[in-house]
Structure 1
Amino acid sequence: MSATLQTLFFSPTHSSRRIALALGDGLAAALGMPQKNRDLTFPPDREQSLDCGPDDILLFAFPVYAGRVPQVLEAPLSRLRGNGAVAVIAAVYGNRDYDDALLEAADLLTRQGFVVAAAGAFIAEHSVAPRVGAGRPDAQDMTVLADFARRATAKIAAGNPAPVSVKGRRPYKERIPAADVRPKTMDSCSKCMICVAGCPMNVISREDPAVVATGCIRCRACVKFCPQEAKFFDDAGTAKIREMLESKCLARREPELFL
């Protein structure tokens, strides 16, 4: 069986997906390997295991949630088996900080038997405050991604790549306690069901999209993709976070690469 680039991503609002596919295409072309993409955004795909061979490459891209790997990915990642395969990681964050997320992802994959040879932190539009990181990833970011793919390929192709050291601290940043915050729906909702189809937690009712069960992770996919702009969050916590981000995090940050 030929070696394969296995590209995994979790991407409710599609930014991590865009970065994963761009980086994956660059790696696959440079390494001369076939590529298989696997989207972990929706529950059925998160239930599957993946065993990599020692000659495979794993590319894992994910959005940073409050400085950590999204908790919903802990179980899917525990079902990966690296068997010595090389891994490349892309953490995607909203221009504030990625804190310990990159280190946490590297530790998770290392425990599953991967050699993390390259990692990067990339910027995308913040889901809570779209003015923060607006338009990212942009053309400049895509140029950096292409360069990262070339450098990672060179390291991997040289044989026996050494594990990379990334920024972050142990113990990781404490997770923010989960709050039962759910999106609300305006009367302008047309019941097109785009929000239902795009919810990564399957908590929006298929009978009435204005009804949302517990378990929302506030990814805001329903807000971003609603053609009627009928979904919204109006809780005080979200408003406070948006205000903080827009007052402190508008200055452009650049990707950080570790090879």
Structure 2
Amino acid sequence: MKTITTMYFSPTGASRKIANGIAGGIAGTGTFEQKTIDLTKPQAREKTYEFRSNDILVIGYPVYGGRVPAVLQNVLCGLKGTATPAVLAAVYGNRDYEDALLEGQDLLAEGGFTVLAAGAFIGEHSYSAKVGAGRPDAEDLQAAEGLGIKAAEKISAGDYLEVAVKGNRPYKDPMPDMPFTPKITETCTGCGLCAENCPMQVISRENPTQINTGCILCSACVKLCPQQAKYWDAEPILKIKQMLETKFVERKEPEIFI
């Protein structure tokens, strides 16, 4: 029996939804064992993973400045496949995904995977609820499921040809370091939800108002806080937010590569 492994790094949930949608599309075409690996959890990123030729890997991640997130690059480098078919999903905040799909494909190829299908999908931007608002939505999830179905058809037909995706080599320069952390208002109740969901575990569980170094600006704590007690006030982030809300609010659609 073939195994579908759904793997994702998804601080705010968008990449998880897309990866699950793709895996659901594949699973609906036959009988598969299904596994899930949540790379948002630091412990999961410390493990090693190996896959067989009759496995199918579905992996989703957010785009950081047109690239694979730095925190995920070593993880992808460490995955080991045996001519394992893979489906790749890069989720971006309605601006551009640039080299993120190509870089992900290259990293997986080095580990013995063949990316035979891929997609660039839209998620609500981590800095602004107005950019990609409410994405991924029902139409996005339908597109993700459709990608999964098409990928399954290729596998069933024995077509393991690597798909061509958009992107450039050398990849664009990574985002510059921005050593900022969210600000916290007095409405914080200390519930600890932010600390529990921080992918870098830099928020104190004993005192969630304390954020240590190592923040990757994913905004999980900002978007998940039930009291809306966390927010960004660093000038560089506010400038990016303004630029996004000025230039990139028009809806973009998923791009599918099969």
TM-score, normalising length from structure 2? 0.97
Which whole-Å deviations, capped at 9, do the CAs of 1:204-255 have from their partners, x for residues lacking one?
A: 1122111111100010010111111111110001100100000000111110
CA distance in structure 2 between the partners assigned to 1:147 and 1:74 by the alignment: 27
Give the structure 1 partner of residue 28 of structure 2.
Answer: 29
Q: For residue 88 of structure 1, what is the aligned residue in structure 2?
A: 87
Give the aligned partner of residue 150 of structure 1: 149
Q: Is the 8 A contact 1:87 1:117 kept in 2?
A: yes
1:138: Cα distance to partner?
A: 1.5
> Which residue number in structure 1 is paired with residue 218 of structure 2?
219
Q: Distance in 2 between matches of 1:35 and 1:54?
A: 15
- 1:169 is the counterpart of 2:164: no
Which amino acid is the alignment partner of residue 186 of structure 1? T
In the alignment, what sits opposite 1:137?
Answer: 136
Q: Indicate conservation of the 8 Å contact 1:31/1:157, yes or no.
A: no
SS of residue paired to 1:6: strand
Report how many aligned residue pairs link the two structures: 258
Could you say which residue in structure 2 is the equivalent of 1:98?
A: 97
Q: How does 1:102-117 map to 2 (within 5 A)?
A: 102-117=101-116
Letter in 2 for 1:193: G
Q: After superposition, what is the alpha-carbon deviation per residue over 1:78-123, rounded to whole angstroms, capped at 9, x for unaligned?
A: 2211111101001111110000000000000000000110000011
Work out the CA distance in 2 between the residues paired with 1:123 and 1:74: 21
Q: Secondary structure of the equivalent of 1:61?
A: strand
Taking the aligned partners of 2:210 and 2:137, their CA distance within structure 1 comes to: 36
Match of 1:203 in 2: 202
What is the DSSP-based 3-state SS (H/G/I as helix, E as strand, rest coil) of the residue aligned with 1:192? coil
Taking the aligned partners of 2:141 and 2:207, their CA distance within structure 1 comes to: 39
Alpha-carbon distance in structure 2 between the residues aligned to 1:19 and 1:180: 29
Displacement over 3 Å in runs of 4+? none
**Residue in structure 2 matched with residue 194 of structure 1 by the alignment:** 193
Amino acid of the structure 1 residue aligned with 2:49: L
> What SS class does the counterpart of residue 142 from structure 2 fall into?
helix
Match of 2:75 in 1: 76
Unmatched tracts of structure 1, length 5 or more = none
Q: Equivalent residue of 1:67, what SS? A: coil
Work out the percentage of aligned pairs sharing the same amino acid: 50
Task: Quote the Cα distance in structure 2 between the aligned partners of 1:247 and 1:43.
Answer: 35
> Hey, what does 2:43 align to over in structure 1?
44
Q: What is the CA–CA distance in structure 2 between the aligned matches of 1:54 and 1:144, rounded to whole Å?
A: 26
Q: Secondary structure in 2 aligned to 1:51?
A: coil
2:42/2:200 contact within 8 Å kept: yes
Residue 251 of structure 1: aligned partner: 250
**Cα deviation, residue 47, structure 1:** 0.7
CA contact (8 A) 2:121 2:254 kept: yes
CA distance in 2, matches of 1:226, 1:14: 14
Tell me, yes or no, if structure 1 residue 53 matches structure 2 residue 55. no
**CA-to-partner distance for each residue in 1:147-169, whole Å, 9 max, x for gaps?**
21221111111104100110000
Cα offset, 1:31, TM superposition: 3.8
Q: Which residue of 1 aligns with 2:238?
A: 239
Q: In the TM superposition, what is the alpha-carbon distance from 1:143 to its structure 2 partner?
A: 2.2
Query: 2:114·2:162 contact (CA, 8 Å) conserved in 1?
Result: yes
Name the structure 2 match of 1:3: 2
Q: Hey, what does 2:127 align to over in structure 1?
A: 128
Q: Give me the whole-angstrom Cα distance separating, in 1, the residues matched to 2:19 and 2:208.
A: 30
SS in 1 for 2:246: helix
Contact 2:25 2:147 in 1 (8 A): no
Q: For structure 2, which runs of at least 5 residues remain unmatched after alignment?
A: none
- Alpha-carbon contact 2:19-2:144 (below 8 Å) kept: no
The Cα shift of 1:142 comes to 2.1
- Work out the CA distance in 2 between the residues paired with 1:122 and 1:31: 25
RMSD: 1.0
